[in-house]
């Protein structure tokens, strides 16, 4: 271990990488789109508006509906 002046241990410096907004924006938009799709399936699929017929999607997200406070029955 190296020492600084007067025999005190040297403190390592940490530099965090910066991510420009221009590079992060496509990933943020993609994550937002995935979140909106997930909220749609949990909240309203097999309800008043349904994209798929049957009750499969409703059964897959049934517990998530109750966890998030969406009524389903």
pLDDT band at 27 (very low <50, low <70, confident <90, very high): very high
Whole-angstrom CA distances from 10 to 1, 5, 15, 16, 21 are 8, 9, 16, 19, 34
| Domain extents in the chain | 38-73
Among the listed residues 24, 2, 26, the one whose alpha carbon sits nearest the alpha carbon of residue 12 = 2
Indicate the SS3 state at residue 3.
strand
Task: Give residue 7's Cα distance to chain centre.
Answer: 47
Report the pLDDT value the prediction gives residue 31, as an integer from 0 to 100: 97
State the pTM of this model.
0.57
pLDDT in tens, 38-73: 888 777 766 666 777 777 777 788 888 888 887 777
Report the pLDDT value the prediction gives residue 53, as an integer from 0 to 100: 75
């Amino acid at each position: 271990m190296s020492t600084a002046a007067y025999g005190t241990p040297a403190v390592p410096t940490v530099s965090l990488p910066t991510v420009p907004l221009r590079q992060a924006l496509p990933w943020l938009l993609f994550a937002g789109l995935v979140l909106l799709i997930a909220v749609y399936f949990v909240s309203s699929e097999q309800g008043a508006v349904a994209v798929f017929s049957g009750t499969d999607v409703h059964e897959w997200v049934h517990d998530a509906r109750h966890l998030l406070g969406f009524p389903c029955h």
